[in-house]
Chain A
Amino acid sequence: MVLPMSQYIDDDRRMPRFRVNRNVMTDPGVFAREKEKIFDKSWLYLGHETELRKPHDFKTRNVGGRPLIFTRDKKGRIRVWVNSCPHRGAMLCREGSGNARFMTCAYHGWSFSTSGDLVSVPGDTAYGPGFERPGLAGPAKVDSYRGFVFVSFDPDIVDLRTYLAGAAEYLDLVSDMSVEGMEVLEGTHHYSARANWKLLVENSFDGYHAMSTHQRYFEMIVAARGPIDAGSSLANSRSINLGNGHAVTVGGSGSGDIFGRALSDEARAEREARYERLRAKYGEGWVERLNGIRNMVIFPNLVVIDLVMGVVIRKIDPIAPDYMEVTAWELAPPEEGPELKRQRLDNFLTFWGPGGLASPDDVEMLESAQAAYASVAELPWSDISRGMHSNVPIQSDEYQMRTFWRRWNEIITGEVLPPEEYDPLPEYWTAPRLDLEAETPVTSS
């Protein structure tokens, strides 16, 4: 099959070869179209419900280029407001987080409740009795799935569950790691990179780069624990198209054991006891899947990675064609004991952190690629063909990236490229989540 070559994507099924034009990483016109067609029209991740524990807790976030207030009102409902006073525009919340029942604009003193109502205007007699008192503005849509809160600025967008498509099942997997309910831990990573945001999307589920880019990390693991057999640990892996541009790479049960420091027998026993409780609740097959690694991108910019003994939630914000900001949180079971919690936090810092053993390596690669795109006239295409010829796409192939790019291309250019066809997923990767008390499969909801 020979597909017409678009301006941005060369999807040649005959060779086969898949290429992305590097102009998409540098062109301000492309960046402007992404804002209009992708970030103004998608469900975008805002935060996790467990970040707001009490009424009036708030976080300020930038989502889709907008400053937002993520809060709980007096009744405990999640509310999302544009962080701008309807009077003259100044930001109401000037801190990253806190708790306040009323938010008062520092400019002229207008005060708003967490429910969005204007409750106080200094000298309000100057406005007269007919004055329309404005409340806070919010995004067109706010919804959550398993505690993951998303917003959309498109009033006509499909509902969140439909948008998530197959990605919902993988949010179920990471959310089911605790019977009590997973929670986002205190502490947030903020960093930036002088690179296009899509480079980090690619990197976030790029299994191919691990051994070369993170060579020093694996040297450290070998030095600490002895030889590791990454080949056999990751032999049973897959790359899966989840629909709507979402994709995931997954490794089999226990594949995460090649990462992180060695656990004590007690910590292993504690983790196994928790999994045993989960098996009794959700079934063996579901927990086997849960016990593997996974790197997922929910289109366009949410990354959920369950790797190196922890679940990382990563939000990628495009700021300019060659600059992005990144925020990352750690999702954890609240019932975890001290050693597992310590190891989790250690890995979150020393592997995933802005000064850790992995993220700086990645940022260096992305920034060097971005700098090299100055030669786009001489070298216009990047290659993302890995695994295209096989019947089974694995974790170190690039099918997941092609899935993202086809959706991106469809939205930006209107060109619909047909999906790749692969062997069906074996039963291992499709084991359902059971409710053993009801003895029925539970579909994602």
Chain B
Amino acid sequence: MSTDVRIEPEVSTAVVAGVPVPVSTVYLGGVPRGAAVIVAGPAGLDAAESADLMNALARHGYESVLADPPDRAMDDDFGRVLIGHLVDSIAARGWPDEQIGLVGYGRGARAVLIAGSERTFGAAISVPRDAWTLLGPDRVVSLRTPWLAMAGLGARGELAGPLSGYREEVANRSAAHTSVVGYPGTAHCLHDSAEALVHAAVFDSWQRTAEWLDAYVVPRPTPLAEEWRRRKSTEPDPG
């Protein structure tokens, strides 16, 4: 996620359910391809990694809004409210749900999973620090949003079995397409490292993130595309 031209996100504080939450934004000019709503943690990305991520998304044409909620406040209910708040803020810039991709890191991975099960967005991606964030009690198994999860299998591959079972269950029970990816020899794919397996996992994880967004987030039509559709007198049908 290196970049030559770096955009410094604008940082503000939003009060969500009475809790102050740092929120960063990178808004783009022109006609961005789509929008990303990011929950960076807790136990996810640090501030520098978050800024890198938003820049990398910008290079793929996505403007983004990112929240880094405090550990003490984060539970399922707070996650719901937080994502609702972030989606509302990006929707105010004209983004409908199908043009929005959700990305959650650390414990934000579960918040995104829940949001994707309750509402249909363009795409959802979960990158937990610990796979048990997804596999634990009250596991979510039915998605309305195309969902990608990427987790480490542990140093000895001890999570391969549980993750494989979960992959099958969620695929069978979801209306939308889902994919659960496990990386061998690493606990997670959050932070880059000189260690080969970790580096490979982080690199692959980012590539899959970009491809998943491009495969499912509906592109915002350009003015010329809108004009073409009007000329063809057809209802917009983005597929």
A residues within 8 Å of B by Cβ? Answer: 54-57, 73-74, 99-102, 104, 111-115, 117, 119-121, 124-125, 127-129, 131, 133
Residue of B177, B222, B227, B238 touching A54 (CB-CB under 8 A): B177
Contacts of A124 in B (CB 8 A): 222, 224-225
On whether the beta carbons of A57 and B177 are closer than 8 Å, the reply is yes
Residue B175 lies at the interface, judged by CB distance under 8 Å to chain A: yes
On whether the beta carbons of A113 and B239 are closer than 8 Å, the reply is yes
On whether the beta carbons of B239 and A73 are closer than 8 Å, the reply is yes
Closest CB-CB distance, B46 to chain A, in whole Å? 31
Docked CA distance A55–B238 (Å)? 13
Given contacts A102-B214, A113-B239, A120-B33, contact A125 B224 (CB under 8 A): yes
Q: Which of B17-58 contact A (CB under 8 A)?
A: 33
Docked CA distance A102–B33 (Å)? 13
On whether the beta carbons of B228 and A133 are closer than 8 Å, the reply is yes
On whether the beta carbons of A127 and B177 are closer than 8 Å, the reply is no
On whether the beta carbons of A113 and B176 are closer than 8 Å, the reply is no
Q: Which of B201-226 contact A (CB under 8 A)?
A: 214-216, 218-219, 221-222, 224-225
Closest CB-CB distance, B206 to chain A, in whole Å? 17
Given contacts A54-B175, A54-B176, A119-B238, contact A101 B216 (CB under 8 A): yes
Closest CB-CB distance, B239 to chain A, in whole Å? 2
Residue of A101, A125, A128, A133 touching B239 (CB-CB under 8 A): A101
Docked CA distance A165–B227 (Å)? 47
Residue of B216, B227, B239 touching A119 (CB-CB under 8 A): B239
What are 13 A-to-B residue pairs whose CB atoms are below 8 Å? A57-B177, A101-B216, A102-B219, A104-B214, A111-B219, A115-B239, A117-B237, A117-B239, A119-B219, A119-B225, A124-B225, A129-B224, A129-B227
Docked CA distance A100–B221 (Å)? 19
Residue ID in chain A nearest B234 by CB atoms: A117
Sort A-B residue pairs by CB-CB distance and give the 6 closest, nearest first: A113-B239, A99-B177, A120-B219, A100-B215, A115-B239, A101-B216
Contacts of A55 in B (CB 8 A): 176-177
On whether the beta carbons of A102 and B237 are closer than 8 Å, the reply is no
Docked CA distance A119–B176 (Å)? 21
Contacts of B228 in A (CB 8 A): 131, 133
On whether the beta carbons of A115 and B216 are closer than 8 Å, the reply is no
Interface size class of B (residues with CB under 8 A): 10 to 19
On whether the beta carbons of A102 and B239 are closer than 8 Å, the reply is yes
Closest CB-CB distance, A416 to chain B, in whole Å? 47
Q: Mark B162-175, 1 if CB is under 8 A from A, else 0.
A: 00000000000001
Contacts of B222 in A (CB 8 A): 121, 124-125
B176, B177, B225 pick with most chain A CB within 10 angstroms: B177
On whether the beta carbons of A119 and B218 are closer than 8 Å, the reply is yes
On whether the beta carbons of B176 and A102 are closer than 8 Å, the reply is no
Residue ID in chain A nearest B214 by CB atoms: A104
Docked CA distance A309–B159 (Å)? 37
Docked CA distance A120–B218 (Å)? 9
Contacts of A111 in B (CB 8 A): 214, 219
Contacts of A128 in B (CB 8 A): 224
A56, A73, A114 pick with most chain B CB within 10 angstroms: A56
Closest CB-CB distance, B232 to chain A, in whole Å? 8
Contacts of B69 in A (CB 8 A): none
Contacts of B238 in A (CB 8 A): 113, 117, 119
Closest CB-CB distance, B230 to chain A, in whole Å? 11
Residue B146 lies at the interface, judged by CB distance under 8 Å to chain A: yes
Residue ID in chain A nearest B179 by CB atoms: A99
Residue ID in chain B nearest A102 by CB atoms: B215
Docked CA distance A129–B221 (Å)? 14
On whether the beta carbons of A119 and B221 are closer than 8 Å, the reply is yes
Closest CB-CB distance, B174 to chain A, in whole Å? 8
Contacts of B218 in A (CB 8 A): 101-102, 119
Docked CA distance A99–B178 (Å)? 9
Docked CA distance A120–B221 (Å)? 7
Q: Mark B87-116, 1 if CB is under 8 A from A, else 0.
A: 000000000000000000000000000000
Contacts of B216 in A (CB 8 A): 100-102
Docked CA distance A112–B218 (Å)? 10
Closest CB-CB distance, B217 to chain A, in whole Å? 8
Closest CB-CB distance, A160 to chain B, in whole Å? 26
On whether the beta carbons of A114 and B177 are closer than 8 Å, the reply is no
